[in-house]
Structure 1
């Protein structure tokens, strides 16, 4: 097994979805780490140093919005690419994401291929 394409931190409180995203990315050659909510993400992000973070919006303790905002406010994590994964991508949500500086959106249920393409794109891969 060669060098991983890129490192991804998958953040979702739903274990089934977390596993689904993880498996799809691992099959494509990504190194995948997971976190169970926004607080867990912020606790782990310094150690993992991901290229891309997939972030569920609706989570306990710290939701995706607050987590994305904290990532953007921190000098060390500001440049990390963030994909928000949400069940509701309405115009207000998209605008809020743009204001925070989210890099991409996927709407649940998402197509695994769309996930791969989005993560590859954000990681700067062909």
Structure 2
């Protein structure tokens, strides 16, 4: 089984665009339109790289990460913020250890693929070391 990525974003265009990009590269992608759907995927066993938007209605990205940790479904995942916000805000305080990377929109599609592939190798190395 190859790289698995979850795209968590309330913008359907972003979810579909990134999904198409990853499928073209042979990367398995799952989409979630917000924090609650992300949590359902994780509770159903998703493990991989999570591309998390910050600004979403209801549960934002930071609150979603807090809930991921609280529910005990963080292990086996790598979280990358994929957001239009230029810099993390004060809500990241206390959960920064769970965020591996921060990518701003608009993003270069090929650089996103490179980052995901690098993180997938890192994640594979982590699993082998356990």
TM-score band by shorter chain is 0.7 to 0.9
Deviations, residues 22-47 of structure 1 (Å, cap 9, x unaligned): 11111111111111001111122222
Deviations, residues 89-108 of structure 1 (Å, cap 9, x unaligned): 22646x64862520111101
TM-score by length of 1: 0.83
Q: Structure 2, unaligned stretches of length 5 or more?
A: 123-130
- 1:64 has 2:61 as partner: yes
Aligned residues: 123
Inter-partner Cα distance in structure 2 for 1:82 and 1:32: 14
Cα gap change, 1:97 to 1:120, in 2 (>3 Å): farther
- 1:50 has 2:44 as partner: no
Cα gap change, 1:24 to 1:48, in 2 (>3 Å): farther
Q: Superposition RMSD on alpha carbons, in Å?
A: 2.4
Cα gap change, 1:13 to 1:92, in 2 (>3 Å): closer
TM-score by length of 2: 0.81
Q: Secondary structure at the match of 1:70?
A: helix
Q: Where does residue 24 of structure 1 map in the other structure? A: 21
Inter-partner Cα distance in structure 2 for 1:56 and 1:41: 11
| Divergent runs of 4+, >6 A | none
